[in-house]
Structure 1
C-alpha cells in the first residue's frame, strides 16, 4: 500500500504514467481484438463504438475530462494557504459534480431513442434501436467518472501518480471481462456484455480506487454545496464546457460522420485510432499529465523562469520520442493492423484498409504531443478560456473537412480531416502562447523538431525497405510476415536513427541517458 501512495518526481511520474497508459492501451487492444474477432467491422461493432458518443459528449459538456485539471491548481494553492478550507472546497466540488452529472445522465437515459437517431443519422432503424439500448447501459458510467476525477485531483496535488496510473487498467480490464462473460453466457445478446463491463469498470477503476487512495492518505469530506471558490471553478470550467476542441471531439466525429460512409467505416476508423492512441497516450498524455502538477505548483509560487524551463524541457524530450515512433509506425501501419486484428471476422481486406487509415493518423501524433503539453501549460496558468476558444475555432474550421471527406473519400477522408484539425489546433495554441508569453518556453523546439525529422527520414526509408524484403519471404497476408516486418523494421529504424543521432547530434540523446541513470538509482 505504501508504494501506491508514494509521492513521485516529475520524471518518474512521466515514466509511471507512460507505462500505465501503454498497458492500458494494450488492454484496449486486447478488448478490440476480441471485438474484431467476433464481430469484425460490421453492424454490431459500429453500434457499440457509436454508443459512446452521447456519454462522451455529456462528459465534455461538464468538462469531465478536464475536471481534475481545473481543480489541481486551485486545490494546490488552497492546501498551501488553509488545509481545512481546502477540504471544504473539495467537498463542495464533489457534491456539485455528482448532482450535475446525475441530472444529465438521467435526461440522456430518458431520451436515448431520440439521441440515437441524432448522433448516427446514417444508421438504419434496427441499428438505431440497438444503439439506444447500448446507450442506456453505458450512460450511467459517467456518474462515476466525474466525482472520481475530483478524488484524482487530490492525488495529483499530493504528487501521487500510481493510483491514477492504475485506473485505466481497471477500467479496460472490466470491459474485457464483461465482454467475455457476455459471449459465454448470453451470445445472442451480442456486445451487450462489453457495455455492462464499461459500467463496472467506471465504478471500480475511476471512482472506487481513487476514493480508497485519498481516504488512505487522509480524507475530510463533509457534504456541502456552498463555497466561495466554486465561482472560480465555474469560471475556469465554463470555457471548457462551452468550447469543444478537435482533440476531444475527433473520436465522436469519427463515429458521427462514419455513419454516413459505408458500413464498417466506424469500426475501421475506431480500430486504427485505437492503435494511434498507444503512442499518443504513452508519450503525449503521460508527459502532459506528469508535468501539469509541477507546472501548476511553479505558477502558484510565481516562479516564471523555472516554469518556462520545465515546459521547454518537457516539450523537447517528448518530441525526441514522438518523431521516431510516429514515423516508424507509419511504415509499419498495415502489418501492425494485420498482426493485431486479422483473425476471425476481421479479413485481410479490412486490415489493409485500416492500415492505410492508421498511416494517415500517425502523421498527427507529433501535433497531439505538443497539444497535450501546451494545453496543460495554459491550464496551469488557470487559463481555460484560450484553449477552449482556439479549440472551438479549429473544430468549426474542420467540420466541413469531416463532412466532405466522409462523402467523397469515405473513412480515409475522415482520417485526413482529423489529422488536419489537430495540426491546426496545435499551431493556434503555440502561436497565441508565443504572442502572449514570448518565446522562452518554445525556444529551440522548432529547430529540434526539424533535426529529429531529418534524422527520421533515412531511418524510415531503411526500415521500410528491410521490412518489405523480409516480408516477401512469407505468404501474402500472413501473420508471420507481419510480425517479421514489424520487428525487422523497428530494429533497423532504431539503429539508423540512434546511429545518426550519435554521429551528428549526440546531445539529442542526453535525456535518454539521464533517464536511464535515474532509473538505475
Structure 2
C-alpha cells in the first residue's frame, strides 16, 4: 500500500492532525515573528492582516471551511451504493466550485479599491491603496483553497489524513520563504507566499494524494441529482455565518477603527491563542467527525454519543489546564516570541492583555469545534448557521463599542464574549432537542479538572517570579527561564494533584506521555 493509501483509526488520526496543526501553529508563530521583527505593529503590518478580510469572506460565503463537513456524509452514502455515480457527483461539485470561486475572485481583483475601504474603514487613504494592491495578490488563492477542500474531503472519507496533515506545513513554509526573500518590497512578499502556498500545498498536494491513495475518476459533468442535497446542506453555511468563523474578520474590521497597530496586536495574540485551539480542539473535531458521521449514518446511536462524550471529556481535560498556564505566562511568551526588532515593550503590553482575554474562552472553542461537527454528522447545518448568524448580529455592536472605547482590549473582550455566547446557545439547543446524553458527567469532569488546574497554578505563579531575582541581563533569556520553570512546576503539580483528585481525567493524559510509555514497557 502506498504512503497516501494508508488509513488511520480515530486516535491515530487525531494524533497525526494534532501534530500537524502543532507544527503549523509554530510555523505560523515563526511567520508572525518574522513579520513583527521587520514590520512590528505598524500600518504596513495592519494592511497585510486586513488583506485577508475579503478573501476569507469569499471562502466563508462558499462554505469552504465546511466542504469536508458537507461532502463527507453525501460521498459516504453514494460510494456505498455506486462508486461511479459518486465520482460524477464529486466532479460536479468540484467544477461548480471552480467556476464560482474564480468569478468571485475576479470581482475582487476588479473592485479591489472600494472593497479595501469596506474591509478596513479606519485606515488612511495611503494604507487603503496599499490594501487594494495586497487584495489583488491574495484573493486568487481562494480558488485553490476551495478546490483543495473538495479533494481533502475524499481523503477524510477514506480516513487518509497524511496529505491534509502536510498541507498547512507547505503553505506556511512558502509564506515565510517568500516573505523573507522579498522583504525589501514590504509585505507583498508574504502575499505572494500565500498565493504560491495555496496552489502547491492546498491544491496540488491533495489532488496527487487522491490519485495515488485510491484513484481519481474525474467526470466532466455539470449536474448530478445529489447536488440538490449538497446545496441544502451548504446553503445555511453560506448564508448563515457563525461568529466563530467571522470572529477573525470582525477583529480586523473593527480593529482598524482603533489606534495604528491594533490589528497587528490582536493578530499576534490570536495566533498564540489558536495554538491550543488548533492542536487540541480542531484536531479532535476533525478526527472525530468521520466517525461521528459514520456511526450516525449506520444508526449506532450509543456509539455516536459515546464518541461525542469521549471527545468532549478528553478535549477539556487538556484545554483547561493548558489555557490557564498560558494566561499565567502570557507576558514572557510575548516577550520571547515577538518583542524584538520593531516590536517594542509598548506593543508587548497591549498584546499580552489581548492574549489573556482570548485565552479565557479557549475551552469554549473546544466544545463548539466538536459539537458543531456533531450537528453536521446528523446532516443538520441549518441549526448552527441560524444560531451563529443571530449571535453575529447581536455582538457586532459590542465589537464597535469595544474598538472605540477600549482599543485592542475592548475588541478582544468582545471576541471572547461572542465565542462564549455562541457555544452556550449551541449546547443549550442540542440538549433541548436531543437530551443531555452528550453532556452526561461533563460538568463534574470540568469542575474536577478546573480545581486541579487552579491548585497547580499557584506554585507555577510563584515559580514565574524566580528568574526576576537572578537579575539576568538578557530579557529573552529571562523570559525563557520563566516559561521553563513555571511550565515544569505547573506540569509536576498538575499530574501529582490530578492523580489524587481527578485520576480518571489526568491518568489518560499521563499514559500518553513518552516517558510514561517507556516506563510501562520496562516494567
**SS of residue matched to 1:410:** helix
Do the aligned residues in 2 keep the contact of 1:348 with 1:477 (CA within 8 Å)? no
In the alignment, structure 1 segments of 5+ residues that lack a partner are: none
Superposed displacement of residue 398, structure 1: 1.2
Match of 2:205 among 202, 209, 215: 209
2:284 equivalent to 1:300: no
Do the aligned residues in 2 keep the contact of 1:31 with 1:176 (CA within 8 Å)? yes
Match of 1:325 among 318, 322, 325: 322
Residue 46 of structure 1 corresponds to 46
Q: Pairwise mapping of residues 42-191 of structure 1 onto structure 2 (< 5 A)? A: 42-183=42-183, 187=184, 189-191=185-187
Superposed displacement of residue 357, structure 1: 1.1
**SS of residue matched to 1:8:** coil
Taking the aligned partners of 1:416 and 1:63, their CA distance within structure 2 comes to: 27
Q: Pairwise mapping of residues 422-461 of structure 1 onto structure 2 (< 5 A)? A: 422-461=419-458
**SS of residue matched to 2:4:** coil
Residue 467 of structure 2 corresponds to 470
Taking the aligned partners of 2:488 and 2:220, their CA distance within structure 1 comes to: 56
Q: Pairwise mapping of residues 357-506 of structure 1 onto structure 2 (< 5 A)? A: 357-475=354-472, 478-506=475-503
Which moves more between the two structures, 156-165 or 455-464? Answer: 455-464
Superposed displacement of residue 353, structure 1: 1.7
Superposed displacement of residue 472, structure 1: 3.7
Superposed displacement of residue 73, structure 1: 1.0
The count of corresponding residues between Structure 1 and Structure 2 is 517
Do the aligned residues in 2 keep the contact of 1:338 with 1:477 (CA within 8 Å)? no
Q: List structure 1 runs of 4+ shifted beyond 6 angstroms.
A: 517-521
Do the aligned residues in 1 keep the contact of 2:452 with 2:502 (CA within 8 Å)? no
Superposed displacement of residue 239, structure 1: 0.5
Taking the aligned partners of 2:4 and 2:347, their CA distance within structure 1 comes to: 42
**SS of residue matched to 1:343:** coil
Residue 261 of structure 1 corresponds to 258
Superposed displacement of residue 515, structure 1: 4.2
Residue 335 of structure 1 corresponds to 332
Taking the aligned partners of 2:473 and 2:64, their CA distance within structure 1 comes to: 46
**SS of residue matched to 1:224:** coil
Do the aligned residues in 1 keep the contact of 2:55 with 2:142 (CA within 8 Å)? yes
Do the aligned residues in 2 keep the contact of 1:471 with 1:482 (CA within 8 Å)? no
Which moves more between the two structures, 324-333 or 453-462? Answer: 453-462
Per the normalisation by structure 1, the TM-score is 0.97
Superposed displacement of residue 332, structure 1: 0.3
Which moves more between the two structures, 502-511 or 360-369? Answer: 502-511
Taking the aligned partners of 2:459 and 2:507, their CA distance within structure 1 comes to: 25
CA RMSD of aligned residues (A): 1.5
2:230 equivalent to 1:233: yes
Taking the aligned partners of 2:326 and 2:513, their CA distance within structure 1 comes to: 24
Deviation string for 1:170-215 (max 9, x for gaps)? 11011011101212xxx1x211110000000000010000000000
Superposed displacement of residue 162, structure 1: 1.2
Per the normalisation by structure 2, the TM-score is 0.97
Taking a change above 3 Å as real, the CA distance of residues 12 and 116 of structure 1, as seen in their structure-2 partners, is same
**SS of residue matched to 1:427:** helix
